[in-house]
A and B are shown apart, each in its own frame.
Chain A
Amino acid sequence: MNYFIAFRTLVTKETFRFIRIWPQTLLPPAITTALYFLIFGKLIGDRIGTISGATYMDYIVPGIILMSVISHSYANVVSSFYSTKFQRNIEELLVAPVPNWVILFGYVSGGIIRGLLVGIVVALIALFFADIAVNNALITVTIAILTATLFSLAGFINAVLAESFDDISIIPNFVLTPLSYLGGVFYSVSMLPGVWQTISMGNPILYMINAFRYGLIGVTDIDIQLAFIITGGFIVTLTLFSLFLLHKGIGIKN
């Protein structure tokens, strides 16, 4: 059995899905982040000065890019897989000889592609406001891909467990957005009072944002290696959990 064809079919379908509706999927992040750059970076940032030697604009660009990657990779998989489940066309995959891991990685790849594409769009917009010389391209790209993978997986799990359309917006609104903002997109944790610094260290997104920032502008609050270990650990755990859910048929089989 040739699983690669099934995988390619799924990924192509997933990619065309969000490209076809680009005014809903690719345009909004371009507009929102341009506003971030304009308001926080330019208007307010000029009065803030530098953080760890970087201008405020340069400091927030990596966080804003990665925040977009996070929210869009998550959103892609959660909405695509949930509607597949809801419309029951998941049955097209269940009747076919497609192993669960192909289903999982097919959807996750769609999320990664969307997350990275949005990341590139945002990065291009950032070029109008800041000139970023990439400090370490390998770290930048790897952490972006790992982050997109992690949140695509999380979106997948959310979609599998969701029982209504409300359930697919709870996590993005009440967990992801707050954790991203508190993950040091707009500030360095070293600026926080002691106890809040400790609490912030429990936020996984902080590590990804800092590693990404290090890759782009060479500034970080945390140990880069630790960031890779944490992200990798989450990916492994969420992958295993997703495969378990698919194996049990939770949410998709009676």
Chain B
Amino acid sequence: MNALSIRNLRKTYNNGFEALKGINLEVEAGDFFALLGPNGAGKSTAIGIISSLINETSGSVSIFGHDLKTDRSKAKSCLGLVPQEVNFNQFDTVRSIVLNQAGYYGTPRKLALQRTEQCLKQMDLWDKRDTVSRRLSGGMKRRVMIARAMVHAPKLLILDEPTAGVDIEIRRSMWKMMQDVNQQGTTIILTTHYLEEAESLCRNIAIIDQGQIVENSDMASLLARLHVDHFVLDLAGPVATAPVIAGYQIERIGDKALNVAVPKEIGLNQLFSQLSAHNIKVISMKNKSNRLEQLFMDLIDSKPAEER
């Protein structure tokens, strides 16, 4: 059964702006799914409709087979949402935010207390349980929202940019947490602007641009479509010009640095022997940009949203 199924979803905001132009999307149960797209693409709009915060203009959504219109209560019970922006009461304590949310989902008091403790510990927030949420740092506030979304043990967890503005250590621990939760059987849909994050975590992916799905496939076959890898080479000594080597596109980007485009079918071996022949000694090498980033840029119009 699909965790999420979206049919012909359209949204036109009151000001006439068409944020979703009829999208279709299926997310399998147990999946770790990436929903990507540039600013203003319509990701949060779609998530808002799925989580009953925004009224759709037309189309349908079903969560674990429960239609959001006709079987609302069951559909909602399956879903946990971590919104893009902080939306809890800034004057409440961390614990009461999470505990109240459990109550709204109908969790009996005793179980709610247990689940609250469990989620807060998992999010490393147990020490902060009595802190008024306004006094938390930005990263902590995000984790409060994750704990709140998980307190009723949802089967589908949607996280709208959970790692935005979070330091690397916490981001790593969030990745670990999301992987654990996913391994325990929870379906996860993640939006992020850090593409390496999507690449390393997610199995399937949809890219949305200007309210339309422009790509929807599994991560592996998407990445396999990339024919060229870009590398930056750090050299031992300075070079005056970029060497010319057949099959590769080489560009000098600094005294001791080269940028090389490597077609997949040719590979790296020849490159190094040829560079040695040119008397160029390579100290280290790194992937220039994230692979997914490349694809992403190819797929979407690279102009900022406002100009489109």
Contacts and interface: CB of A to CB of B under 8 A. Distances in A.
Interface of A: 1-3, 5-6, 8-10, 13, 84, 87-89, 91-99, 249, 253-254
13 contacts: A5-B103, A84-B89, A87-B90, A89-B89, A92-B100, A92-B101, A94-B53, A95-B51, A95-B53, A95-B81, A98-B104, A254-B14, A254-B54
A179 to B, nearest CB: 32
Nearest to A96: B104
Contacts of A5: 103, 106-109
B100 A13 contact: yes
A1 B73 contact: yes
B70 interface: no
Interface string B208-224: 00000000000000000
Interface of B: 13-14, 48, 51-55, 72-74, 76-77, 79, 81, 83, 85, 87-90, 96, 100-101, 103-109, 148
Nearest to A253: B55
Contacts of A3: 106
A231 B103 CA distance: 33
A94 B109 CA distance: 21
B106 A1 contact: yes
A93 B87 contact: no
Nearest to B107: A5
Contact of B83 (A87, A91, A99, A249): A91
A6 B103 contact: yes
Nearest to B54: A254
A94 B87 CA distance: 12
A87 B87 contact: yes
The winner among B54, B77, B79, B103 for most chain A CB atoms within 10 A is B103
A10 B51 CA distance: 20
Contacts of A13: 96, 100
A98 B109 CA distance: 17
Contacts of B90: 87
Given A1-B106, A91-B53, A253-B55, 19 more contacts: A1-B73, A5-B108, A6-B103, A87-B90, A89-B87, A89-B88, A89-B89, A91-B87, A92-B88, A94-B52, A94-B53, A95-B51, A95-B52, A97-B72, A97-B77, A97-B104, A99-B73, A254-B53, A254-B54
Contacts of A95: 51-53, 76, 79, 81
B77 A1 contact: yes
**Residue with the highest number of chain A CB atoms closer than 10 Å, among B77, B83, B89, B104:** B104
B47 to A, nearest CB: 11
A4 B5 CA distance: 30
Nearest to B83: A91
Given A9-B100, A89-B88, A253-B55, A96 B83 contact: no
A106 B279 CA distance: 78
Given A95-B79, A97-B73, A254-B48, A8 B103 contact: yes
Contacts of B109: 5
A249 B54 CA distance: 9
Contacts of A9: 100, 103-104
A145 B87 CA distance: 33
Given A96-B105, A97-B72, A97-B105, A249 B88 contact: no
A92 B14 contact: no
